């Protein structure tokens, strides 16, 4: 009788342990699913992070406002210098053209002057 009682208690304990095992196994499976989901989300975030880093790198390659203003000012000065030199070249070409015309012998020679 005592052995039956012990056996019965052991069966109950085994059933209880099996239920606990099943609960723990389900809990573990759920945690594994959660971990896999978190890994997927982490991978998505890492990809997005890399995209944002690339955008930042690209943005840093673009000139800053100060650089743009400096380049614009330099361009204006250079354009002014070009305009001045263009005027100087035009004046020089005009003067050269006038000099060439002055140094050309006339097409019709003037009459000879005779002194008697």
- pLDDT for the residue numbered 63: 76
Percent of residues in the chain assigned helix, strand, coil, to nearest 5: 85, 0, 15
Q: pLDDT digit string (tens) for 69-97?
A: 999 999 999 999 999 999 999 999 998 88
The backbone region for 80, taken as left when phi is positive above 0, alpha when psi lies in -120 to 50, beta otherwise, is alpha
Residue 101 reports pLDDT greater than 90 = no
Using CA atoms, how far apart are residues 71 and 55, in angstroms rounded to an integer?
24
* 63 Cβ contact partners less than 8 Å away, ≥ 6 residues apart: 71
User: Hey, is 107 helix, strand or coil?
Assistant: coil
Domain chopping of the chain, boundaries: 1-62, 63-96
Of the chain, the percentage scoring pLDDT greater than 90 comes to 63
Q: pLDDT digit string (tens) for 29-41?
A: 999 999 999 999 9
């Amino acid at each position: 009788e005592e052995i039956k009682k012990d056996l019965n208690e052991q069966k109950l304990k085994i059933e209880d342990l099996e239920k606990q095992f099943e609960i723990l196994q389900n809990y573990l499976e759920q945690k594994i699913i959660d971990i896999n989901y978190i890994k997927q989300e982490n991978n998505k975030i890492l990809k997005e992070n890399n995209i944002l880093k690339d955008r930042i790198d690209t943005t840093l390659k673009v000139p800053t406002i100060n650089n743009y203003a400096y380049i614009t000012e330099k361009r204006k000065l250079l354009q002014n210098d070009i305009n001045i030199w263009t005027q100087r070249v035009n004046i020089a070409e005009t003067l050269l053209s006038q000099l060439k015309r002055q140094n050309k012998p006339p097409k019709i020679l003037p009459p000879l002057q005779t002194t008697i």
